Amino acid sequence: RINGARLWAALMELAKIGATAKGGVKRLALTDLDKQGRDLVVGWGREAGLSISIDQIGNVFMRRDGSDHTLAPVVTGSHIDTQPTGGKFDGNYGVLAGLEVVRTLNERNITTLAPIEVAFWTNEEGSRFVPVMMGSGVFCGAFSLETAYAATDTEGKSVGDELARIGYRGEQVPGRHPIGAYFETHIEQGPVLEDAGKVIGVVPAVMGLSWYDCVVSGMEAHAGPTPMGLRKDALQVATRIMQEVVAIAKRYPPYGRGTVGMVQVFPNSRNVIPGEVKFSIDLRNVNEALLNTMHEDMLAYIDQTRRDSGLAIGIERVSHYPPCPFHPECIDAVRRATAKLGYSSMDVVSGAGHDAIYAARLAPAGMIFIPCKDGISHNEIEDAQPGHLEAGCNVLLHAMLERAGV
Amino acid sequence: RINGARLWAALMELAKIGATAKGGVKRLALTDLDKQGRDLVVGWGREAGLSISIDQIGNVFMRRDGSDHTLAPVVTGSHIDTQPTGGKFDGNYGVLAGLEVVRTLNERNITTLAPIEVAFWTNEEGSRFVPVMMGSGVFCGAFSLETAYAATDTEGKSVGDELARIGYRGEQVPGRHPIGAYFETHIEQGPVLEDAGKVIGVVPAVMGLSWYDCVVSGMEAHAGPTPMGLRKDALQVATRIMQEVVAIAKRYPPYGRGTVGMVQVFPNSRNVIPGEVKFSIDLRNVNEALLNTMHEDMLAYIDQTRRDSGLAIGIERVSHYPPCPFHPECIDAVRRATAKLGYSSMDVVSGAGHDAIYAARLAPAGMIFIPCKDGISHNEIEDAQPGHLEAGCNVLLHAMLERAGV
Ligand SMILES: NC(=O)NCCC(=O)O
Ligand SMILES: NC(=O)NCCC(=O)O
């Protein structure tokens, strides 16, 4: 069994970097704070005797050798970047749970057959740079290193430059690093486990996702003298689409999701009719056919709105991954570990994307969820119970040991 | 008659300060560029022999003495601050038309009985600081100097500090400066004159205005795992109100106006359900009872939405002035000057607020409109014809001469 107090202490220590007044964390990908967080975790890895390698997109792998050098490593990991108003556990838990597994194995002098690795992937959150889950996406070839390097934040700073600036643009070619199996522990980020009173979520699949940038172009004009009938108000047209995004998601329950999270209005002055509105659209479903139908519904609505309003409306898909079912062997390894340890459990479909879905393209993969308070994440008040964090980490230990062999 | 070419040259010269790539001007109130603009106009005033005085809110008065020292001056003016994506004529025309009147009187050696003054008022646009029409508002006592000084921009910089920084926090107590009559020339900022093919708009009244800040507070949560039915999406609720603002305006034609120009979404991340949305509301009507009804309709809708959604919704009125009918004597002076000069004309209600409505609280006031291209202003493509600019300035000259006496 792992040491829950030590795991908790590591989580609280890492959460100090970028800590916000409201008890959350703001540690956006490839900022100075991300560098501080990375340095802290890498330091802990070295202290635990792990050998460190960094690839060209800044993914970090920390390796504990096994006895059989012909075997590919059993990898666990997640990310340490956060949302602008993020919490202490999202991502960080998956990385530090891996570190705690290693510390436990060290303490017990357990040598596995296959090597054990703890990874953290670059820019999982996708808040500062798109595509989301960038490090694991490049690693599995979902998109190219060049695409990722060229991605810029709202200030025009690029991933390539920012990686170099913080000293995490490594040498290793992404994906050249073999993986035997992959596990990831994570807070659920939804209310299902808490509502059901269960400790462990076994994750059969992750919802597919499509992200879009939508731009409505009208005509800036003065809010006073311009008669209502002569306006080309970009915001009035954009808000109709924003409402439809939610209506579409509600048409495809229980796993349809539709969200507009980001909006920019130009010129954003009280007495100017908006000339342009840019906003993001996030559509999800665990059923690929339904996700495609949602996509079609949205494009049809935008076509209709373009005709009705006479305004120009641009729509571009900027990120996409299909629903990802996990590997039966890994799902079963999680189930067996949970049963062996005597934790209550249930299946929980993941609405959030995780690096595990990209790792799953290269090796058998699975995930372990634990409850989070009120199902809330991507919020500074995100919270999780020490007992649940410990339980998830114990399940991880046993699932990894089963895969790696002792 | 005034010199149209000289007026045009002055407009183009002033438009260089803060010129934008798209041919507009960005010269926000109390910025370094505003200071440069002020210095240029004050320099021109001095060259024309005018004596300069500056009051505590940064209003500038440039005086040409009359022969009768017992008479209060006939004042004309407007503003030189612009919208973030503003044009060359809004405000600037009214100030430089006044300067051109003075230059013409100098050239012809005409001495008026009453003094003639050219004024420019601080922060008319209200883009950087609220309340709008700040300088003239403080001058006529619509709100206090302390209120104005305390107003801050989005970066937290205050009017008091910024005035001092650019060297335009004068000594004179606002309002202690007597005004005998006030005229203001302005582009129409709407399509009425152009549509009707008329050169001069005689302005019987200015619409009343109410500005509001609205804040919808929901709950930030992850866009993927949070089921649609459990969300408290602040943007979905805010967009309903944004649509209603326009619907309300359309219920009170022909002079009802409703605009949402400014929106901020928090935390503004693609995969976070918005926890808070702040936005502005601008309601106008020329009929005071209807403006009040629009206000009541909006509050009722917000109450209803608060009940329906269960979300907290804050609404605060941050600027207000009632509809302002101009003085019959000044309206008639404009009519007579127009007729004498032989320009086509019609009555045009002003949808835009102008410093003239505050001046009208202290002295008889009137306005002269000229057409602007496609009725567009508060846009970099704002445009006006040299012939129209010249005509408006000629009307100003004759209306002022009639009031001042020769
Ligand atoms: N786990 C997580 O928050 N991932 C970010 C990508 C997503 O929006 O699902
Ligand atoms: N004339 C003008 O643009 N004034 C600004 C105040 C308003 O929004 O009407």
SS3 of residue A206 by DSSP = strand
More confident call, B359 vs A378: B359
Query: What pLDDT score was predicted for residue B240?
Result: 98
Atom of ligand 2 nearest to the CA of B209: 9
Residue with tokens 């306005």, as numbered in its chain: B367
What's the token pair of residue A50?
Answer: 């792990």
Please indicate whether, in this complex, the C-beta atoms of B246 and A236 are within 8 angstroms of each other.
yes
CB contact under 8 A, B221 and A258: no
Q: A275-309 burial, b for 16+ CB within 10 Å, e for fewer?
A: bbbbbbbbbbbbbeebbebbbebbeebbeebbeeb
Give the model's pLDDT for residue A200.
Answer: 98
* Separation of CA A124 and ligand 1 centre (Å): 7
Which residues of chain A, if any, have pLDDT below 50? none
Comparing C-alpha atoms, which of A180, A182, A94 is closest to residue A365? Answer: A182
The structure tokens listed for B20 are 């934008």
Taking alpha carbons only, the member of A118, A202, A185 closest to residue A393 is A185
Position A317 scores a pLDDT of 96
At B287-342, the pLDDT tens digits run: 999 999 999 999 999 999 999 999 999 999 998 999 999 999 999 999 999 999 99
| pLDDT tens, position by position, B3-35 | 999 999 999 999 999 999 999 999 999 999 999
Sort out which chain A residues have CB atoms less than 8 A from B189's CB and list them: 222, 224-226
Give residue B88's pLDDT band: very low, low, confident or very high (50, 70, 90): very high
Nearest protein Cα to ligand 1, atom 5: A125
CA-to-CA dists, residue A128 to A132, A148, A332, A377, B74, angstroms: 9, 12, 36, 17, 57
Which has the closest alpha carbon to A48: A100, A1, A92, A7?
A: A100
Q: Is B388 strand, coil or helix? A: helix
> Mind listing the pLDDT tens digit for each residue in B203-257?
999 999 999 999 999 999 999 999 999 999 999 999 999 999 999 999 999 999 9
Whole-angstrom distance, CA of residue A247 vs CA of residue A298 = 10
Q: Provide, as residue numbers in chain A, all residues whose Cβ is less than 8 Å from the Cβ of B378.
A: 220-223, 269, 271-273
**DSSP assignment letter at B152:** B
Contacts of A265 in chain B (CB under 8 A): 261-263
A189, A219, A250 member nearest B224 (Cβ):
A189
Task: Give the whole-angstrom CA distance, residue B268 versus residue B271.
Answer: 9
pLDDT band at B154 (very low <50, low <70, confident <90, very high): confident
CA distances from B169 to A256, A402, B30, B54, B173 (A): 58, 76, 10, 7, 11
Contact between B363 and B357 under an 8 Å Cβ cutoff? The reply is no
**Is B94 near ligand 2, meaning CB less than 6 Å away?**
no
Q: How far is the CA of B265 from the centre of ligand 2 (A)?
A: 25
CB B126 within 8 A of CB B358: no
Contact (CB<8Å) B378/A223: yes
Q: What contacts B154, CB < 8 A, 6 or more positions away?
A: none
CB contact under 8 A, A225 and B353: no
The secondary structure element, H or E, covering residue A209 is strand A208-217
Find out whether A280 and A261 touch, Cβ atoms under 8 Å: yes
User: What local confidence, expressed as pLDDT, does residue A89 receive?
Assistant: 98
Mean pLDDT across chain A = 97
